[in-house]
Amino acid sequence: MDPRAGTPAQPEDLVDLDALLGAYYDRTPDLDDPAQRVTFGTSGHRGSSLDGAFNEAHIVATTAAIVEYRRAQGIDGPLYIGRDTHALSLPAWQTALEVLAAAEVDVHIDAREAYTPTPAVSRAILRHNGAGTAAGVRTTGAGGGLADGIVVTPSHNPPRDGGFKYNPPHGGPADSDATSWIAARANEILANGVGAVRRVTLEQALAAPTTARHDYLESYVAELPSVLDLEAIRAAGVRIGADPLGGAAVEYWGAIAERYDLDLTVVNPTVDPRWAFMTLDWDGKIRMDCSSPSAMASLVRQMGADAPYDVATGNDADADRHGIVTPDGGLMNPNHFLAVAISYLFSGARPGWSPQAAVGKTLVSSALIDRVAADLGRPLVEVPVGFKWFVPGLLDGSVGFGGEESAGASFLRQDGTVWTTDKDGILLALLAAEIIARTGHTPSELHGGLVERHGQSWYARVDAPATLEEKAALGALSPEQVTSTTLAGDEITARLVTAPGNDAAIGGLKVTTAHAWAAARPSGTENVYKIYAESFRSEAHLTEVQTEMRGVVSAALESVTGQ
C-alpha cells in the first residue's frame, strides 16, 4: 500500500495533457514491441499514447478492422458510438468517426455532444435490435439492419490511458472470436500502413448523411422505471449522494433526479481529464475505481457521523461499475453488495421474472452468493471472468442477474426481459436506494443478516510472480496435473479449469474445499498471476489458503514445465 493512498492528488500526480494529446497524434507505434500492438483484453484495447500503445494509428486500424468485421458478419444497421471523460477519448472518438464516415457506415453519435455511459450504448443497441418488442432481440439472421456499437473508454484506468471496445448486436462485450479477429486485422493494417485507410475530415464526418444524432441520455433515463421501482425511492424520500467520479454519468444523475423527483444530490459534478480532485488509489496512482476504499476516500469521509445521505454511490469513468457507501458500513465490499442485491431481487422484488431465472456470478466472486442462491432455490450459473459470459442468459431471460467481483453487474427489467447486456453502474447504484426504500434497511445491514444466516467470510486477491512460460502453463492446466489433495487443512473437493456454468475454460485453476476456495489466473499485463481466495473460517485461515494455493500452483506448474 502506497503511504499516500487515500490522500488528495498533488500537482506532481497529474498527467500532462499537452504531452498526452501530442503523443496521440505524433507517436508511431513500434510493432516490434508487443506492448505497442493492438490487443483486446476482456474490455477492449487499452493503453497510453505516452507508451505508444494508444495512438491515432491504433484507432484508425482498429476502426477499419471493425468496419471489415461488421460487413463480413452482415451487420449493416447503425453503429452506436459513445465516449467517456478520459482525455484520449475525444480524439479517439473523432478519429473513429472520420474512418466510419469515409466507409459510409451509419453512425449514431450523442445528440448533446456529451459523454455516454457504456450501459446507455448497450441499451441503444438492444432497443434498435428489438428489445422490448414481442419478437425480442435479434442478433443474427436475415432482414438486415442490425446495430452494433463502440465505446471509447479505458473504464477506471488512470487519466493517462485510453480505451476502445466493440459491442456486437447482442449489446454486450464482444467474445474472443470477434476481438481476436479484429485485433489481428488491425495489426495487419498497422503493419501495412494506416495511410491506406480512407478517412474524411472531422467536419465532413459530422456533416455526413450517414452521421445521425441519438439522444442517449433521454432514451436511457426514460426507460429506467421498467427496471427499477423509482416511485418507491421517491415516496420513501431516500437521500442519495451520487458521485460520478468525474465520469460519463455526470449529466445522467442530474437528469434522473429531476425527472423522477428524487432527493438526489450530484456530490461532485466536476469533469477534469486530469482528475485533480481524486484521492490516490492503493498504489499511489489516480484511478477512478469506485470499489476502492482509497479512490473513494473523499465520499467515504462524507458518510461518517451525521451523514447527509442514506446512501452514497460512485461510478467509474464509463459508469459500468458501482460503489455503494452506507452510513453504518462505509464502502461495501463489491461481493457483499452483489449478495445483498441477489437476495433482494430474487426474494419477491421482481415477480415478473421467471421462477427458473438463474443467478449468474464469475467463479472468483464470493461463495456467499452460492449460499444465497441455494437458500433461494435458484440455479447458479458460474462463469469465467468477463461479463461477456452473461450475455446469452440476460438476452433470453434465463439469467436474472449477472455480477462480477469487480463491482460490475446488470439484471433484467421488471417484466423479465433484457435491460442491458453490459455492466450498468447507474442501475446498481439506484438499486441500493430501492432496497432501502422497500426494506427499511441499508444494504450493509442486510449483508449482516446474510452473514448471520450463511456465515462470515474473508476474501482477498493477491499477486504472485510468474514467468511468461509459467503464465502460459497456468492458462492451459488440466485437472489431472493438480496433484495436491488438501488446501489449508481441508480436503480439496474440486479442481476446476473450466467453469461449472458453461464449461468454458477459465484460463487458470480453481480449487474448492468445504470451508474455502482459491483461484489462480495469469495477468494479461504483468508477469504475475492473481490469486483470489475466500475462507469461511477466519482471516488467518484465508492467509493460509493464499499461501498454500501458491504451493498448489507451483507443484502443478512444475509438473508441466519441469522447473
- Confidence at residue 476, expressed as pLDDT on a 0 to 100 scale: 86
Confidence of residue 464 (pLDDT cuts 50, 70, 90): confident
pLDDT tens digit string along 135-185?
Answer: 899 998 767 899 999 999 999 999 999 999 999 999 999 999 999 999 999
Distance (Å, whole) CA 379 – CA 428:
22
Residue-level pLDDT at 563: 56
Q: State which amino acid sits at residue 74.
A: G
b/e per residue, 133-157, with b = 16+ CB within 10 A?
Answer: eeebbbbeeeeeebbbbbbbbbbbb
Is the pLDDT at 117 greater than 60? The verdict is yes
Whether the pLDDT of residue 202 is over 60: the answer is yes
**What SS3 class is residue 211?**
strand
Q: Higher confidence at residue 120 or residue 464?
A: 120
294 has a pLDDT exceeding 70: yes
Average pLDDT rounded to a whole number, residues 537-550: 95
| pLDDT tops 80 at residue 36 | yes
The DSSP secondary structure of 76-133, one letter per residue, reads: -S-EEEEE-SSTTHHHHHHHHHHHHHHTT--EEEETTS----HHHHHHHHHHHTTTTS
pLDDT for 525 equals 62
Positive or negative: CA dihedral 482, 485, 488, 490: positive
Across the strands, what pairs with 323? Answer: 314
Q: Tell me the pLDDT band of 133, cut-offs 50, 70 and 90.
A: very high
- What pLDDT, on the 0 to 100 scale, is given for residue 142? 67
pLDDT category at 465 given cuts 50, 70, 90 is confident
In 3-state terms, what secondary structure has residue 36?
helix
Residue 444 annotated to the active site? no
What average pLDDT score do residues 483-488 get? 92
Q: C-alpha grid cell for residue 118?
A: 457504456
Sheet strands side by side (includes 399-404): 380-383, 358-362, 399-404, 408-411
Question: Is the pLDDT at 557 greater than 90, yes or no?
Answer: no
Are β-strands 264-266 and 240-243 bridged in parallel, bridged antiparallel, or unpaired?
parallel
At 505 the three-state DSSP class reads: strand
Q: Residue 220: which H helix or E strand, with range?
A: helix 216-222
Selection from 120, 385, 432, 65 nearest residue 252 by Cα: 120
User: What is the amino acid identity at position 17?
Assistant: L
**DSSP β-ladder status, 79-83 and 107-110:** parallel
**Does pLDDT of 526 surpass 90?**
no
Active-site residue identified among 48, 49, 155, 444: 155
Question: Is the confidence at residue 257, as pLDDT, over 90?
Answer: yes
Please write the tens of the pLDDT for every residue from 43-81.
789 999 999 999 999 999 999 999 999 999 999 999 999
Average pLDDT over the chain, rounded to whole? Answer: 95
The beta strands (E) that lie in 416-504 are given as 458-465, 486-487, 490-491, 494-498
**Residue indicated by cell numbers 497510453:** 48
Q: What is the pLDDT of residues 334-371, one digit of tens each?
A: 999 999 999 999 999 999 999 999 999 999 999 999 99
Residues belonging to the chain = 563
> 80 phi and psi, to 5 degrees?
-90, 125
Least confident of 56-65, 246-255, 458-467: 458-467
Look at residue 457 in the predicted model and tell me its pLDDT: 96
User: According to the model, what pLDDT value does residue 562 have?
Assistant: 61
**Contact predicate 146/163, CB 8 Å:** no
560 confidence band (pLDDT: 50, 70, 90): low
Q: Rounded CA gap, 395 and 412, in Å? A: 9
